[in-house]
Structure 1
Amino acid sequence: MLHIYIISNDQELEQMLSRTEPPEDCGFEFTTVSSAYDLGTLPPDSAVIVDGIDSAADTLFSYDKKLVLLSDAPSLEYADDALLFRADALWVMPDVIPDRRLLSAYFSALASQMKTESDLRKQTICFETMADSIPDLMWFKDTEGAHMMVNDSFCRAVEKTKEQIYKRGHYYIWDIPEEEYEKGEYVCLESEEVVIEAKKTCLFDEKIKTKSGLRMFRTYKSPLIDRDGTVFGTCGVAHDVTESKNVKGEMAGILESLPYAVFIKDSNGTVISVNAYFNKYFGGYEPVLGKNFNEWKKRCLGYSVTTSGGREETRVNVGGEERVLIYGEEPLTDVFSEQIGTICMYRDVTDERHLERQTRELNNTDFLTGLDNMRCLTAHIGELRQADRLTFIAFDIDRLTDVNDKYGFFLGDEALVIAAQTLRSCFWGETVLRSGGDKFIVVCTTEFTDTELRQRIEKALENARRSFAAHERLSGLSCSAGAATALKTDGYDIDRLMKDSASALSEAKSYGGGCCVIYGEEL
């Protein structure tokens, strides 16, 4: 959602901009205020459009959001230089009255830029969060060996901050004198030269001298190749394998500590080891040790084994409760890289599946009002298209901003809940959604006549007005509505229905609110 704040003395500019098609996967949320001092704290992906140089104020300098100045050319002669330099964009109109097409072109370019910056910001956050979540060391270097980015695990290993590491080389980061490096067996820098030359991912076993002594890392390194084929750096992921001694004893300890049902089978498929969790889940079946696992599985688990999402899934009864297990396996190799067996694991995903179901429900529900949200509408649009007659009714609350400004958002939230309850009761059996902010959408599949539709909407507006009036601080609120209808025989253009209902709502608002406009109906 791109949040557009307009500083203007009327709603005309907002109405003009709202007709502009948003970028793909985006929506607009407009807020018009009369003064910059009314803006408050702005959310991410926001822009402030100032209608006229005279509407600008010093407080705009404190915002880090996009600032757009809309002005006719003559007024710019008297504009403050500091304000012009602060502006991210200057929309110059040929006349005092904004040109609709030029304004739409300006606004489309602004929205596209905001969408691009939003995508880049979120992609960067996703990437950095993922990198810092990796327990292994991860880094990016330029072709000279200077570190451009590292993750938290890398910082912990070298006992330095990301700021200290940035643009620094191998010797400084690992505290190794260059002359000592030359005498040692460290291959870090040399291996990167190999990767750059090969232009492909390579695997290395590298010795690194750290403050805690010499460490051995199993390292994957890859070249960073630009679109023109130029290598501009390298990246790597290193796993510390120094402590992997006494593998057999440690393996047994690890298997017992894992919260999964784990067993090991040899190269012939015979099970040679199981952990306690395996016995917890499969103790009710015949023993598996010393038997061929595939034969045992077919005999004992055959009826309960299915495939889901490309993964083998098994359902077992544990203490009278059905548990869902996902199966996975990895080869075990010896020092000569020959496979000597397989480590197999059953992971309990019962709670995850339950959480996934809850998450899907939460994702389709507005937390405050309990109504469905727009994501839910998208999910059920196919069902709605089966109706012979489809009506979209857009509602919003008049003057809710005044309540928020005067009494705070907690009271505004109460107004939203009242409106939601009213719409749910007045349109029982229909799809009632909160589309965002103070806006709601009712999708009717009932074949109302135009008269019945208007009566139903006006009843909802009256009930809302009475419900607001019952609360002293909300007594000045009302709702406005705009409706648009289409027949199945004409083909449904859902986007058009939403736009037409929104346009009708805007027209209702232009009459002062508290009323209903049906799109295409003469007033």
Structure 2
Amino acid sequence: MYQYNLKVLIVSPDPLWEKAMTLAQTPKRFTLSFKTQARPEPALWKTASFIIVDDPTPEILTGLRSECQKDAVLIAAVQQDLPQTDWAALCQSFDEVWRKPMPQPLILQAFQRWLDYLKTRKELWLTENYLESTINSIPDLVWFKDLHGAHLKVNNAFCQAVGKTKDDIVGRGHYYIWDLKQEEYEKGEYVCLETEEQVLKARKTCLFDEKVKSKHGLRQFKTYKSPIFGDDGEPIGTVGIAHDVTDLENMGTEMAIILRSMPFSILVKNSDNVIINTNERFEHYFGITHGEIVGQDYDVWQAQTLLRIQASEKAEFQEALIQHEKEERLLEIREEPIYDIFMNLAGKLYIFRDITRQRQMEQQILYNSNTDFLTGLYNRRHFYEYLAQNRGQQRVSLIYADLDYFKLLNDTQGHQAGDEALVLTAVLLKQCFPDAFLTRLGGDEFLILYLGNWALTELTARSQTFLRKMEEQFRSRSIHPSLTASIGIAQTDDPQLSVDKLMQRSDQALYQAKQQGRNQVRVYGESGSPQAAVESERGLFGI
């Protein structure tokens, strides 16, 4: 839909910045162009959308923000020993400040994070644009309300009906918008005050016949109202679509208009399973004309078109795969019965909605909630969830790893060096424990979980391999060559032993490894270890 050319300007004599950033993974629909200049050329600031300034001078601080694009991202790269007053000035002028020295992997990681943010910002803009374009293309009245009845968003048709602008409507209630006196509105003579409460109570889409006294006289509306739910599953407002049926002569015409105005792909079949109607969105999405689809047997069309159909987890609708524009897309299919005046089943209406992007976003949200942002390992909350769901009667083995002198590394070389050490540690954990459930508990503490009949000798050997690889990797990196780790292992076959108690045991074994010189592995209960489970002053998750 859109194509974004991100122009990156690097003001630095050091070629390392561009060299590292060109390794970044370019987001979809993005193109990147780089230009590095040793001395600032203000003429280039106006065209760049991402600017990095290495050790900015006071002159640059004064003029950069006013010279560059309004939404340009400004990054300053400075030495860590910069005075506090200078830091304050930088934070006011720049979107982010990077501390030097900054190794290539960290530059790449920081730039990739900004690319992901800019991608999200563009997608949000596109989604907003989709919503505005969708509701404004509907000839019927569309509105969104909060729980107090204030209008949050309306479409152009709504503005035309009430004779007011969107700015005048947003935030206002019904009686003001429709030019009713408040006492008329409260009497409920011209609008059903209970419909909003009914929708929220039913927690589903409801259809109402409503009369509204407007500038054009008394009008009759067929109104669909649906609740909008927050991420906690509770209603936060409603959305309504109203079609003016004051002048309609029959329900057939009304049905055709409603089908055409709905923002989803819709198909209608009769009691003989024959397709009798579709809307334009359906025909466009499935690449078929009205004449080609009407008259077909629904089951035959479904078998030819949909790759796979399955019930959703909540069983409220079905989900199906379809080959759409050379890629597989996921559809939500809702089925609604249609009854005649005698309440006999006259047919069914199907609503098809493409939920591919929604499912992808849900999976991304789930991933983000279960993992640690920096290392990509699972977080503490998901550790407890996973163990509760999968432990059963199995043997549980915990390997507790803690970096040695990590606080000293942060204090002497900065948090960026610490972050690099944590990221590298996570990489080594994945290499040495590929079949384990890996968790970052917090700070520099990591937990390796194994379920099943794992021998302590095997776990100890893997842990020692990890320590050896870690020592080799960090020795080869000048920024933190002496960083090591200590490990404590605990194991139980008792399904009644709590995970907190087992973690306490592994923590005690880890504490012993620290006391005996660090950079080693200790097993709880082994010869020479604290068999009596002495409580250490470090607490359950000490450093």
Q: TM-score, normalised by structure 2?
A: 0.48
